[in-house]
Chain A
């Protein structure tokens, strides 16, 4: 009784807050589809392809989770969210997980009551300017007009950066990435600022990407990662370890090409535990033994996903940088499967 009235009351108030339910994992299994919140459209991270299929680096995380839980990487309802709507959508239970280049911050984790399950991309906020502007450093942007997506951490970083350097700027708030591109290309703002990966993705869609440069300053830390609601630890574990499985798979050399062969059994006990031929890690998660195998087969390991969606061979052309494995000098470091 209390619960139904709550739903009504919250709907009336135009507010959606989390409803403590039996468990998201059970809900997803019963429903047969995963509701995954993604970007409204950011090339390389989450974008519908020409045939209407969602694809991208964030989308791949959703597919891996769906493959692990439901044995079907396509059993997903993708729900596009904007910077403003994403948290409400997650808190209200409209989506089961959010994979939308969302920065892990203290207040989002603690005050907004979300659970960041890990980091799938280490990013930082940068600036893009047209080459003809003749600017080579963000500190030369005194008095510039800056396009910025409203409702994001970038807005606060921007204010802090300009205040710390004692220079002025004129913010032009925009709702979506597309509007920002329109204003930037028309010259209505001198520079566009958002996560450096996002800038690279946007630049890749321009007619002449070479006319625009990314300034060297990275003014913030932006660890982007998938997140779930606070308080449902079983579900949080599933998403967290699916992400870790993708990262570990790269570290262990498990790829979508050799996974069938390796799942026959290997000399490496960690690979065996990961792929379910040894131990019962899957059962502990409330899934079956082959969950991680399906997750990796959905699109490949972390490295394969990176190269396919945003790597140097793609128009976006991002280098691994901080996102290399720890063995290669990067920050990716999955806890052991044991």
Chain B
């Protein structure tokens, strides 16, 4: 007699979805998902329905109307007759500008402070600790407002530069003016410039019609214009750096083969600098100095106080966090690495730059991404100092003048989300490159 029997063929019963542990967790998750979707749908449906009842259905048509207001800092051509779309775009570029400047400065300051905090010099290490603690523990909004107040109250007004014995004078051979309306610095000018390249021009429009004398088309042509001079210079610079890289690789190869490293710095400097100088001379490069005319300085590049205050405050604040991340990254590397490198005869600076930091980067980069995102999002505090970023234009003045709260705020959220995800994606790619290759 065989005791072996086939296990009874279980027929699936509905109750098993709850009582059978194999299915229960899936059941719960599906029910929760359906519930969540119903709730979300319900909220959206009600919002749309009730807005329609209020006579304010969601409608993005207002974006094509003339904005009607002026923006002081604009990286592309803009006037008050342009659409709200363009005003929002001007704001977006301002957001990106301060985010980019801020991330670069914060990284440099943060790495330097983080390394110096571990210095053996008691005074330097303590000073850096004080810096980190002060900036980290005060809200960034206060830093922004404080920086702005200092700039406004301590620097002279442009009218102080006027007269026989002015109270204030320009610096660096009359090329830089520090005023309480911003800093004016010399601007690069090209007497034989190549003009601008319109991006996405609308050939049919009046703005893009070529003038009869064959001159350049008007500034209003295209969505925005890119300076051909700048493109040429960047191209020459890029090519120079590439050739310089090839020379370095060749030197590496020779060093690996023979043990002697050929002197290459003058070649490398030459291939970068000489073509660049030739291009600059051909384009007729000269600098335009700011000069006091009328109420304000004219000419030169005007870095407005709002930009400087926001940039400085965001950079210094975020740098305090980055410094801690860098310090943590360095401390995560075993002391044996330092001692081994020292035993090979490397000097302390080289130990840091060639042995410790490359390894520490693996620990540093993931939290660094969050700091970049924080800085970018904190830049939306710009309105506190009147910096016209995306929050100031689209979600500020446009919202106020059109009364379209939902539409503008939704668009703003979407844009910030896209910026943040782009930064994350770029930094994750970089992280892939430097992270430890695991076998």
Interface residues of A (CB under 8 A from B): 2, 5-6, 8-10, 12-18, 20, 83-84, 87-88, 107-108, 111-113, 132-133, 141-145, 150-152, 155-156, 158-160, 162-163, 169-175, 179, 182-183, 186-190
Contacts and interface: CB of A to CB of B under 8 A. Distances in A.
B423 interface: no
A2 B68 contact: no
Interface string B375-398: 000000001101010001000110
Given A88-B405, A113-B54, A188-B181, A159 B69 contact: yes
Nearest to B293: A143
A156 B401 contact: yes
Contacts of A18: 54
A113 B57 CA distance: 13
Interface string B66-106: 00111110000001110000000000000000000000000
B46 A15 contact: no
Contact of A6 (B46, B68, B386): B46
B355 interface: no
B80 A163 contact: yes
B43 A172 contact: no
Contact of A173 (B68, B293, B392): B392
A171 B67 CA distance: 15
B152 interface: yes
Among B294, B384, B386, B396, find the residue whose CB has the most chain A CB atoms closer than 10 A.
B386
Nearest to B80: A159
Given A113-B55, A190-B295, 16 more contacts: A13-B47, A14-B409, A15-B406, A112-B403, A142-B294, A143-B296, A150-B383, A150-B397, A150-B400, A151-B397, A159-B68, A174-B386, A175-B383, A186-B152, A187-B158, A187-B159
Contacts of A183: 152
B56 interface: yes
Given A172-B72, A190-B295, A17 B50 contact: yes
A190 B296 CA distance: 9
A111 B180 contact: no
A133 B160 CA distance: 12
A187 B158 CA distance: 8
B400 A151 contact: yes
Contacts of B397: 150-151, 155, 173
A84 B408 CA distance: 14
Interface in B171-185: 180-181
B43 A145 contact: no
B43 A9 contact: yes
A177 B384 CA distance: 13
Contact of A188 (B51, B55, B152, B383): B152
Contacts of A143: 293-296, 298
A211 to B, nearest CB: 14
Contacts of B53: 20
21 contacts: A13-B47, A14-B405, A16-B405, A17-B50, A84-B400, A133-B159, A143-B293, A143-B295, A144-B295, A159-B80, A160-B80, A163-B81, A171-B70, A175-B383, A175-B384, A175-B386, A179-B386, A183-B152, A186-B152, A187-B157, A188-B180
Nearest to B157: A187
Given A144-B295, A173-B392, A188 B305 contact: yes
Given A15-B405, A84-B396, A9 B72 contact: no
A157 B298 CA distance: 25
A160 B69 CA distance: 8
Contact of A145 (B46, B153, B295): B295
A87 B54 CA distance: 15
Contacts of B81: 163
A173 B46 contact: no
B406 A171 contact: no
B42 interface: yes
Nearest to A180: B386
A263 to B, nearest CB: 42
Contacts of B296: 143-145, 170
Nearest to A155: B69
Contact of B54 (A14, A17, A158): A17
Contacts of A12: 43
Nearest to B405: A15
Nearest to B180: A188
A162 B72 CA distance: 14
Among B79, B153, B295, B409, find the residue whose CB has the most chain A CB atoms closer than 10 A.
B295
Given A5-B42, A6-B50, A186 B70 contact: no
Contacts of B71: 171
A159 to B, nearest CB: 4
Nearest to A135: B295
Nearest to A83: B400
